[in-house]
Amino acid sequence: MGKPITQNGLNAAKERLSILKSEYETLPEAIAEAREKGDLKENAEYHAARERQGMLNALISKLESDIASCEVIDPSKLKTDIVTFGKSVTVKDKTIDKILTYKILGEIESDISKNEITIITPVAKGLLGKKVGDIVTIKVPAGDKVFEVLEITC
């Protein structure tokens, strides 16, 4: 089984890949223009373009590999009464008395700034399979967290 991803996540990754490839295709022209400006040893534009080319090449290769290793999963077809991939889960962090909502997604589609966590994080692993009302203690780098599952949505 491949790494889980939603269809939306896969579509976004393919779009990101397309954008990176488009930028990569423009670099040979930028490198050629910079090369025409003289001595390559002191040509900052040339070195910046070459460095960007190398970085883009690495990003493209990594993203292509990630996409190839993914398996699209439709969260709406998974159980609705337990925490699973693609679900949003609202929990009460009893450690700090705060209510938080996390969406559990695949590695290449999660965005912590939107409270989307990757399925391989300790928090996601600890919440998977739990039901509303369950209380779970999860070891995180900052210490133990105690969560009560309040709500699960798709």
61-81 pLDDT per residue, tens: 999 999 999 999 999 899 889
Instruction: Give the domain extent around 114.
Output: 75-153
CATH number at 135 reads 3.10.50.30
CB 127 within 8 A of CB 136: yes
Domain boundary among the residues 40, 72, 104 is at: 72
pLDDT level of residue 58 (50, 70, 90 thresholds): very high
Cα–Cα distance measured from residue 126 to residue 90, given in angstroms and rounded to the nearest whole number: 14
In a shared domain, residues 21 and 68: yes
Question: Do 136 and 97 lie in a common domain?
Answer: yes
Higher pLDDT, 37 or 56: 56
Does one domain contain both 95 and 63? no
**Residue 77 DSSP one-character state:** G
Same domain? 102 vs 133: yes
The DSSP element (H or E) to which 8 belongs, if any, is helix 7-35
pLDDT tens sequence across 139-152: 999 899 999 999 99
pLDDT of residue 100: 96
In this structure, the answer to whether residues 148 and 81 fall within a common structural domain is yes
Give the chain's domain count: 2
The HSE-up count of residue 125 (CA atoms within 13 Å, CB side) is: 7
Q: Which residue has the tokens 């009560």?
A: 148
Claim to verify: residue 16 and residue 51 sit in the same structural domain: yes
- The CATH number that applies at residue 46 is 1.10.287.180
* The residue to which tokens 């889980």 are assigned: 4
